[in-house]
Amino acid sequence: MQEVTDLSFWRLMKDYGGADVYFTEYFRVHGDSRLDKPILRSITENPTGRPVVAQMIGNDIPALVRTAKELQKHDIAAVDLNLGCPAPIVYRKCAGGGLLREPARVDSILGALRDAVQVKFTVKTRLGFGDAESFDELLAIFAKHSLDLLTVHGRTVAGGYRSEVDYTAIARAAGAMKCPVLANGNVSSAAKAAHILRETGARGLMIGRGAIRNPWIFRQIREHLAGEPLFLPRGRDVLGYIEALYEAVSSPEYPEAAQVQKMKKYLNFIGLGVEPTGDFLHAIRRSRTREEFFTVCARFLSHDEPMPLEPFTLPLKDHDVLAGCVD
């Protein structure tokens, strides 16, 4: 999740149970690109103790091959090609989800990368661009290039993050591919995770937004699948998480206002689990100082009531971050 699940966030997630595998933010690849140093630090300073997959986005075959070779000089478990980002600034350049409009071009890119990648080679995709009519064609292309892992976000690019997730399509991919398939899209709780695994036959899950809202979700999924009681965070637990997150992502290089602004990216997700009216997010988005920010947080979260396991459904505007390329 670009500019959100960075090295600082990874470091914090480890304290809450953490994921089994971590995917970097995507390295933007073009003719004269170089490895983004802050993203590279997620690999070279990996604090999680778990494998790391280096994610790329782009459409320039020589540049993608060059970048894949550069990434393999570092301690990575796999190289991943992003074919799923639905942000207009990305797909208008025929990168990310934009490539799904050109299956033949995807075929050429995967062929070149399959030859260049000596570690595991993985792809994240959506079901198609405007519709899912080409999904079976895309699956055949993925199978042709012997991917080691395929992650399927069960929406089209045009569907963004607001359309329904088609878990039946993910199940079709899991049945068609020889490699493991990960299910992605609205993995919002441990119970939902178990349901998705049953419904799709996927070998695992990719979780983005759900982990920001609820950093205990990985722990809870493991507990649920093991038949153990789930840890249920209370208001003060979430308040403590926000305080720890603020400290984790803060930097002396940036003024207070910039720190608060960065935290709002995370609170756009966390706020969906705080209360159902939108009042919390409304107040957070208008905070300007650290004191204002935490006064709002304390007002809504200084309690010992259990927090909801599923997010509330709040009205969103088109420009809200939840509609962007973050999962």
E strands within 13-136? 22-28, 52-57, 78-83, 120-125
Quick one: DSSP state of residue 234?
B
Catalytic residue, candidates 85, 179, 297, 325 = 85
C-beta atoms surrounding 76 within 10 Å: 18
Give the neighbor-by-neighbor strand order of the sheet with 22-28. 22-28, 52-57, 78-83, 120-125, 149-153, 181-184, 204-206
Q: What is the largest CA-CA distance in the chain?
A: 56
User: 39: closest CA among 61, 9, 16, 17?
Assistant: 9
Query: Cα 314–319–321 angle (5° rounding)?
Result: 70
Active site residue 297: no
Pair of tokens at residue 42: 């997620």
Contact in structure between 153 and 184 (CB atoms under 8 Å): yes
> From CA 231, how far away is CA 237, in angstroms rounded?
11
Element (H, E) at 184: strand 181-184
Please list the active-site residues. Answer: 85
